[in-house]
Amino acid sequence: MENSGVGARIYPTGKPPENTAEALEAVLRVANDILRQCKLFSIDALKDETPTIEQIAKSLDLICTLVEKLDFEGDEMKLAKAKEYVGHVKVIGVAIKRDDEAELERQVEELNKRSFIL
């Protein structure tokens, strides 16, 4: 089975996380990857990404929701951080779709101010 699409971005090894902590670490890693990508590439190049950042954001949001619904008893701060970063990734995805460079830059700047320490 080929490792492509949204799953490949979230789980590059092809193995899904074994617990909620690993799932949240994957969310934070992908948000960091998207931040780097947005700094390196033009909005036009970002539009051509497959999967789109908007699609990735939906998957990240689903992961956070599932972790929360599983009666998460881990690091509440990491869950809150992951949800916050997913919010930024969602807005980045919409900004790219709308060709809104100003909003993209604002969100990248906001996300860049955050700590990605796992």
Q: How confident is the model at residue 85 (pLDDT cuts 50, 70, 90)?
A: very high
Q: Is 4 left (phi over 0), alpha (psi -120 to 50) or beta?
A: beta
pLDDT for the residue 2? 38
Model confidence pLDDT, tens digit, residues 98-111: 999 999 999 999 88
Q: What are phi and psi of 30, to 5 degrees?
A: -65, -40
Give pLDDT tens digits for 31-68. Answer: 999 999 999 999 999 999 889 999 999 999 999 999 98
Residues 9-38, mean pLDDT to the nearest whole number: 84
Query: Whole-prediction pTM value?
Result: 0.82
Question: How far is the C-alpha of 83 from the C-alpha of 60, rounded, in Å?
Answer: 9
- Alpha helices by DSSP H, listed for the chain, are 5-10, 20-40, 43-47, 53-69, 76-97, 101-112
Confidence band, pLDDT 50/70/90 cuts, at residue 73 = confident
Question: Which class for 29: exposed (0-12), middle (13-18), buried (19 or more C-beta within 10 A)?
Answer: middle
